[in-house]
Structure 1
Amino acid sequence: MRNSRRLAAVWAALVVAAGLMVSGPSVATPELTPATGTETAGLRTAAPSWMTPRIERRIAAAGTDGASLQQIQRWVDRGLAGADQKDETVTEPCPTVDAYRTAEPTVKAGACQVAPYGCTANFIYYNGPEEAMPPTSDGRHHFIGTAGHCVGHANQPVFMQITAAGVVAKVGEVKKILAGDIGANGFGNGGIGNDFAIIQIDPGFTVDPQMPAPTLGPQGIYTGCEPTAVKWYGHGYAVAVGQGRGKAGVATNWYDRSFGWTAADGLPGDSGSGVLTADGAAAGNLTHLLIDFERYPGSVLAGTRVTRALTWMGAGFRLVNEDYSTARATTADTDCGNADSGNG
């Protein structure tokens, strides 16, 4: 209980330090599941209440065009989201402040995931025959990453916001999940370094591997173990998934599977975010808000390394750089040790 109060205090401090307190509902402390020597919480949010199975099927039927907020509002008004949501106003799931957004439907690194949970996608991955990734998905070889606890099961449809105007589309289905304890119920007591999922992108989508401004990248993969400045782009907001923006910190804890860093900005909706070094090399994803003084001294955020993820994905999978070239590195290329035999 004492540690739970400590994590709640850290959580509140992160929100205040980020300057993201907003009017309306109060900021909710994430549900915590205590464990020996550590406390963690996943930084995902619930999907919008109007995102019901009937609405999902309508959006999926629209293909790569997706559905506009206006169209979704009409469906909600007709009761397709259920009687309880009939009077609900559909607002943009992921308002953003970055400059990359265009009117063209695009599956982009750092995209905002709307369902099954509110999260942030990380990088683009490719396992096709070309050295450089073709910019249009063939439905077989193009993938986008998220956190393992941001999805529920293989073959599950995943919905993201794909244009500046708030168009939501089914971008693909879950191909594989790497999930430790946190993947069982969304919040947990382990799984750091084992929390990743890849979504196979549906055919016809334009795919953009560059992270949103000002984060940009990736270009290459970080395989070192030394303290380094890191940055990420997250859609986490004070009470929900919201304005996407660049964030930064310092990573001082590096293991072969996981890494931890200190920052004043890690909020619900940031789970899955792609984390890079200051010079743009892909480091991993953001999965946990934590207190673990033994394994991750000084860190308040942690995630799974890209090298770990690519090892798990299997031979042939590569990270796609911002210039569409590809790179691959695995745990065989790191020598940072492990915090224990399975959780970091």
Structure 2
Amino acid sequence: MRLSPMPVLAAAAVLATASVLVAAPADAGARSGRWAAAADAAIHPGTMMYTKGAQCTANFVYTDAAAHVYVGYAAHCAGEGEATDTDGCSTASLPLGTKVTFAEGGSLVDEGTKVGSGRLVYSSWLSMQERKTSDALACAYNDLALVRVRAADVAKVNPSVPVWGGPTGIDTDGTASGDQVYTYGNSSLRAGVSELSPHTGISLGDQVADGGWSHPLYTVTPGIPGDSGSGFLSADGTAIGVLSTLGLAPLPASNNIGDLAKELAWAQRHSGIHGLRLVRGTEPFSGLS
């Protein structure tokens, strides 16, 4: 879940495919100078994002038919409910147009150094509420929001996940128990110590009862408040999902990630963003061998 400006103990209880589902290659953007070099990019998967003081982590970079650039995080990062309010069909959310700041080095003391900004242009929560969605699984796990990067800051963006590289595409076949996963969380609770951000873990296997919407997993160090919204990669570097909640039962300290293929397919149908798609990383994926 997002890390709000409230005391840490209050926030620590919970972290918070359609045929058109494609991933845009990054190489064309790199050749044209569209993307910053991965080593120099200020905005990328894993960047801190602040919304009205609440902090989350960027998952992946997206683009559309008009070449606008978006960075994703969890829809609950713009939620106005309590830390335990995770139902996207009933929890209030900040409106589209809300300003979001990209930052680095944030901590409990301050929001670190601002490196760019954008506006909230899509929220699965607002989308489901507008449509009066009653699907309990979608309400629980469809947790993706998109922030359109300010035009002046697009040149600071690179789509590669730090340390791991990728994504190489979108995972569409779920996970099996024991599958290796990779992520890069960036909670301000870590006070900007980047060495603590990359994590590995294993899937606990897809839960049939979740209809493919959620993938529970364990990481070497569990996700914490502020990591919410961060992206998870499979063993071949494909994007599996977005960190949504910290599981308390029946699997204590596990993390639950929403399925990105389903979340992005919903956004493609209901966001009004024409040609929305994930951008592949410019850096090759390099997981643990």
Q: What's the TM-score, normalizing by structure 1?
A: 0.54
The count of corresponding residues between Structure 1 and Structure 2 is 211
**Which runs of structure 2 are paired with 1:292-307 in the superposition (5 Å)?**
292-293=249-250, 300-307=254-261
Q: Shift in Å at residue 167 of structure 1?
A: 3.6
Residue aligning to 2:182: 231
* Cα distance change of structure 1 residues 232 and 31 upon mapping to structure 2, 3 Å threshold: closer
> Is residue 251 of structure 2 the alignment partner of residue 251 of structure 1?
no
> Is residue 9 of structure 2 the alignment partner of residue 28 of structure 1?
yes
Matched position secondary structure for 2:193:
strand
Moved over 3 A (4+): 29-32, 189-192, 239-242
Distance in 2 (CA, whole Å) between partners of 1:193 and 1:223 is 16
Residue aligning to 2:280: 321
Q: Which has the higher contact order (CA 8 A, sep 6+)?
A: 2
Distance in 2 (CA, whole Å) between partners of 1:156 and 1:177 is 11
Residue 159 of structure 1, aligned match among 91, 101, 124 = 101
Matched position secondary structure for 1:260:
strand
CA contact (8 A) 2:12 2:224 kept: no
Could you tell me which runs of 5 or more consecutive residues in structure 1 were left unpaired when the two chains were aligned.
1-25, 33-40, 44-99, 130-137, 184-188, 325-344
Residue aligning to 2:15: 42
**Which runs of structure 2 are paired with 1:246-285 in the superposition (5 Å)?**
246-254=198-206, 255-263=211-219, 264-285=221-242
CA contact (8 A) 1:241 1:269 kept: no
Supply the AA of the counterpart residue of 2:181.
Answer: V
CA contact (8 A) 1:260 1:299 kept: no
Distance in 1 (CA, whole Å) between partners of 2:279 and 2:187 is 24
Distance in 1 (CA, whole Å) between partners of 2:224 and 2:192 is 10
Q: Shift in Å at residue 42 of structure 1?
A: 2.6
Q: What's the TM-score, normalizing by structure 2?
A: 0.64
Residue aligning to 1:201: 149
Matched position secondary structure for 2:101:
strand
Matched position secondary structure for 2:76:
helix
Residue 109 of structure 1, aligned match among 45, 50, 58 = 45
Q: Deviations over 1:33-74 (max 9, x none)?
A: xxxxxxxx234xxxxxxxxxxxxxxxxxxxxxxxxxxxxxxx
Supply the AA of the counterpart residue of 1:28.
Answer: L
Distance in 1 (CA, whole Å) between partners of 2:203 and 2:191 is 24
Residue aligning to 2:161: 211
Matched position secondary structure for 2:43:
strand
CA contact (8 A) 2:63 2:278 kept: yes
Distance in 2 (CA, whole Å) between partners of 1:267 and 1:298 is 13
Could you tell me which runs of 5 or more consecutive residues in structure 2 were left unpaired when the two chains were aligned.
1-6, 17-37, 79-93, 107-111, 130-135, 270-274, 284-289
Mark the structure with the bigger radius of gyration: 1
Distance in 1 (CA, whole Å) between partners of 2:165 and 2:218 is 20
Distance in 1 (CA, whole Å) between partners of 2:102 and 2:198 is 19
Distance in 2 (CA, whole Å) between partners of 1:194 and 1:241 is 29
Distance in 1 (CA, whole Å) between partners of 2:227 and 2:191 is 8
* Cα distance change of structure 1 residues 192 and 216 upon mapping to structure 2, 3 Å threshold: farther
Distance in 2 (CA, whole Å) between partners of 1:195 and 1:306 is 9
Distance in 2 (CA, whole Å) between partners of 1:122 and 1:31 is 20
Supply the AA of the counterpart residue of 1:313.
Answer: A
Q: Deviations over 1:117-165 (max 9, x none)?
A: 2110000111126xxxxxxxx6xx211100111123211000012699x
Supply the AA of the counterpart residue of 1:172.
Answer: G
Q: Shift in Å at residue 267 of structure 1?
A: 1.2
Q: Deviations over 1:219-270 (max 9, x none)?
A: 0111123232111001125x46633320111112324222111123211210
